[in-house]
Copies of this chain bind each other. A is one copy, B any other.
Amino acid sequence: MNSATFAKNKRMSKIDLKYLSKELNLSISTISRALRDDWEISEKTKVRVRELAEKLNYSPNPYASSLRRQSSETIAVVIPEIANNFFTLVINGIESVAREKNYHVLIYLTHEDYERELSIINYFQNGRTDGILMSVSVGTQDYRHLQEIHQNGMPIVFFDRVCPEIETTRIITDDFESSYNATEHLIKNGCRRIACLSMTDHLSIETKRKSGYLQALAKYDIPVNPDWIIECTNDDPLSISRIRMLLTSSHKPCSIFATVEKLAIHTYDVCKELNINIPRKLKVITFSNLTTAALLNPSLTTITQPAFEIGKQAATVLFKHLYKKRFAIPNEDIVLKSDLHIRNSTL
């Protein structure tokens, strides 16, 4: 007997409420109520039902239940990518509270692509998920798909890369301040020729980080050199070539402030290739959740976001609403603080 027929046989003797009700000479509704510990059922029958259910390993069909109750006990996490320490830590935070609430977690990756994000969001028009935790992709400049699904009553909580136009809670970090501090750190270490590497500019975090950088320059009367403000995309080879151009130009910077980890890694790669010594010839500081930052050559100075806590808080806000629908998700920013880890790359 192969696995397929075995499955079919098993499915024949599937145990559901009807089966239990026949077995115990009770009605389906009584079984259902007994299992949900309804007060209208006597304690005696409750234990009878529970015992048989336990013995037969009954577990309710989630789709029947979801269909009837109009709720899925599932939340969706929509992120740009997953091979990224920041997002995996966020997921860890989310999972820690979802698990506690007995909720299930669907993961969707946009790969930083607007079209994908769009089609993913469209999955959610029909109740597959009770709520969304999301970080928008760099590719999206039009937020109408998010507006619409939010208007339709789907709870959304944004984290890190938020959508300011939508009236909901946004879990973010002190991007402006930490960028200011990072830049100031470079300045105080003797740098005045500071370049800024960032991703495309539509994300709120990117603009905030960049303006923190600019503010620090202004504070110390350092003129802004537009050639040193580089906008990269998700196209890695392109980013690398831009960094290479920057570091081989006649008028080079002496330090780099990167708004995302990947660009700092690219910088390390290019420096290795061009034999540029970090930190002697170039100092590097970046936003990053890399676990190996301290082990790099040289160890990398980072601004580290509290990723786990971000996920936890985002999930907590969402569940607060899911458990008490009357509690509308407040329209506010929750701002957590990042940590500056000074290491050898900015010595």
Query: Chain B residues near A147 (CB, 8 Å)?
Result: none
- Asked if residues A61 and B126 are in contact (CB atoms below 8 Å), the reply is yes
- Asked if residues A92 and B82 are in contact (CB atoms below 8 Å), the reply is yes
Contact with B along A49-88 (1 / 0, CB 8 A): 0000000010111111011000010100000001111001
Query: Chain B residues near A127 (CB, 8 Å)?
Result: 61-63
- Asked if residues B106 and A153 are in contact (CB atoms below 8 Å), the reply is no
Contact with B along A149-161 (1 / 0, CB 8 A): 0111101000000
Q: Which of B60, B109, B128 is A92 in contact with, Cβ under 8 Å?
A: B109
Query: Chain B residues near A83 (CB, 8 Å)?
Result: 85, 88-89, 92, 291
Known: A10-B153, A91-B107, A109-B95. A126 touches B82 (CB 8 A): no
CB proximity of A332 to chain B, nearest CB, Å:
14
Query: Chain B residues near A106 (CB, 8 Å)?
Result: 74, 104-107
- Asked if residues B89 and A57 are in contact (CB atoms below 8 Å), the reply is no
Interface size on A, residues (CB 8 A): 64
Query: Chain B residues near A174 (CB, 8 Å)?
Result: none
CB proximity of A151 to chain B, nearest CB, Å:
7
Question: How many copies make up the complex?
Answer: 2
Query: Chain B residues near A335 (CB, 8 Å)?
Result: none
- Asked if residues B67 and A63 are in contact (CB atoms below 8 Å), the reply is yes
- Asked if residues B3 and A167 are in contact (CB atoms below 8 Å), the reply is yes
CB proximity of A223 to chain B, nearest CB, Å:
32
With A and B bound together, what is the CA distance between A289 and B150 in angstroms?
38
Which of A136-144, A182-190, A294-302 forms contacts with chain B? A294-302
- Asked if residues A63 and B66 are in contact (CB atoms below 8 Å), the reply is yes
CB proximity of A59 to chain B, nearest CB, Å:
4
With A and B bound together, what is the CA distance between A4 and B83 in angstroms?
36
Q: Which of B59, B67, B291 is A265 in contact with, Cβ under 8 Å?
A: B291
Query: Chain B residues near A59 (CB, 8 Å)?
Result: 122-123, 125-126
Q: Which of B2, B61, B297 is A297 in contact with, Cβ under 8 Å?
A: B297
Which of A21-29, A207-215, A224-232, A322-330 forms contacts with chain B? A322-330
Closest 9 CB pairs of A and B: A7-B153, A297-B297, A63-B67, A63-B66, A59-B126, A83-B88, A63-B63, A59-B125, A62-B128
Other A-B pairs beyond A62-B126, A95-B109, A296-B296, 11, CB < 8 Å? A3-B155, A3-B329, A7-B152, A82-B92, A83-B85, A83-B92, A84-B88, A91-B107, A104-B123, A295-B296, A297-B297
Query: Which residues of A line the B interface, CB within 8 A?
Result: 2-4, 6-8, 10-11, 57, 59-64, 66-67, 72, 74, 82-85, 88-89, 91-92, 95, 99, 104-109, 122-123, 125-128, 150-153, 155, 167, 265, 268-269, 272, 290-292, 294-299, 325-326, 328-329
